[in-house]
Amino acid sequence: MKSPAPATIILRTAQTIRNRVRGALVWGYEQRLAREVRAHGRLPQHLGLILDGNRRFARASGLQRELGHSIGADKAHEVLQWCLELGIPAATIWVLSTDNKGRDPQELAHILALLEKEARALATDPRIHANRVRVRAIGQHDGFPAHVLAALQDLEAKTAHYDGMRLNIAVGYGGREEIVDAVKAHLQAQERAGHTLMQAAEALTPDHISAHLYAADTPDPDFIIRTSGEIRLSGFMLWQSVYSEYYFCDVYWPGFRRVDFLRALRDYQGRDRRFGR
């Protein structure tokens, strides 16, 4: 085999040097961002994350569609670590929407298999137990395979008594469906209390709906990040997000870097939240 020409060696060496310099610059910028974010001190008390772009990441990278979801699941573990390092008290990650349940059966089966795998991994993850993270799956899980439900229930049971960070995994989730379920739960409670439908309707307040949401004991999200460049909520926490701040990031979820995360938080820290006033 012929050795590369000198010009080729020079080009490869130059490219390697450029990559290392670029990597060093990004690392330095990331460290500066981290210092700024920590120094400011104001962090979201509840961070919402819409994990979007797994399939497009796979397509753009020349990978199989399922690999995009697998890499996206690994990314969720990374982001959990970033939240723990900063001390963010609560996070909700949207993994699977009610609309997604109508996807190609093979793709959906892969996502559910990943969900089961990740639930079992989190149940034994030392970080979860060392930081006393309470994990809960929220959404409509009718039709999920029994083994997937068992994995989610086991994870919830093993962390139910923890008082540290709250991690909500929104799976089979839709904001409209959540509001409907909350209204149903409230009306059922009113019926058990002996109230008529008219009495329940006349006394109804927003607090009654809030009390029956899937994660009613978690504060409303004050900051929501969506990846992939889509500028919409698509039904994520519609009731709770009325005063949330939003951040839309162009990068696909599997490519979401710590520097992107820190940029988003710094942007949040620069906002003046007025809550409609």
Q: Is residue 18 marked as binding?
A: no
Q: Is residue 267 marked as binding?
A: no
Q: Is residue 245 marked as binding?
A: yes
Q: Is residue 266 marked as binding?
A: no
Q: Is residue 226 marked as binding?
A: yes
Between CA 24 and CA 183 the distance in angstroms is: 53
Q: Is residue 261 marked as binding?
A: no
Q: Is residue 276 marked as binding?
A: no
Of 19, 74, 100, 181, which is the active-site residue?
A: 100
Q: Is residue 271 marked as binding?
A: no
Of 52, 125, 222, 260, which is the active-site residue?
A: 52
Q: Are 53 and 253 in contact (CB under 8 A)?
A: yes
Q: Is residue 154 marked as binding?
A: no
Please give the structure tokens belonging to residue 194: 């002996």
Q: Is 131 part of the annotated catalytic residue set?
A: no
Q: Is residue 131 marked as binding?
A: no
The whole-angstrom distance between residue 100's C-alpha and the CA centroid of its chain comes to 15
Q: Is residue 103 marked as binding?
A: yes
Q: Is residue 168 marked as binding?
A: no
Q: Is residue 19 marked as binding?
A: no
Q: Is residue 57 marked as binding?
A: yes
The candidate with the shortest Cα–Cα distance to 156, out of 172, 171, 134, 141, is: 134
Q: Is 125 part of the annotated catalytic residue set?
A: no
Helix axes 258-269, 65-86, angle to 10 degrees: 50
Residues classed as catalytic: 52, 100
- Residue ranges at the known binding site for Mg(2+): 52, 245
As annotated, the binding site includes 52-57, 65, 69, 97-99, 103, 226, 232-234, 245
Q: Which residues are annotated as a binding site for substrate?
A: 53-57, 65, 69, 97-99, 103, 226, 232-234
